Structure 1
Amino acid sequence: TADTVRAAAARLAPCDSADPHPNRSWYGLVGTHLYYVVDLVEEATGARDVKVKTARLSLAELGFPVFALAWNTLLTQGHPGHTG
């Protein structure tokens, strides 16, 4: 639920903090902070090995804005591990 996601976000350090992860592409906006979608869904559900596509679609269905960090061919072709 959206409340579960907000509670999970409260337990995580936001990606826009002083220690962002350089190799992550998909983020969900919860409140005023960005969180990596997989970390957020795993924290909210207790599941492990959540796929990026599943995480971003789940958060979007709950009404959370989801953003991708992309450049070059990622803009035109996407990342097969995230969209396929």
Structure 2
Amino acid sequence: MIKRDYYLNRLIHNMWNGEIKVITGIRRCGKSVLLFDLFYEYLLSQDIKEEQIIRLELDQRKYYKYRNPITLCDYVDSIVNSKKKQNSICL
């Protein structure tokens, strides 16, 4: 696997700037490796738990419906809200 340190460092450096990141490139140039392997491993090394990371491969048929931004947003909201309920403490 090619490390792609330049792109990984740019992604890490800008990850909290409030802007959406779009990774583009020709087929098979390493976009998925960058996100699903390298950036994922970086997040885990920063003590981010696996269950806090949402991973969707939009080119897989079972995830096609999430290509619609409204459906995707609803899906992410449902996961975040269910995690909040699980982690809340009732007194």
- The answer to whether TM tops 0.5 is no
The structure having more radius of gyration, on CA atoms, is 2
The TM-score normalised by the length of structure 1 is 0.28
Question: Larger strand proportion, structure 1 or 2?
Answer: 1
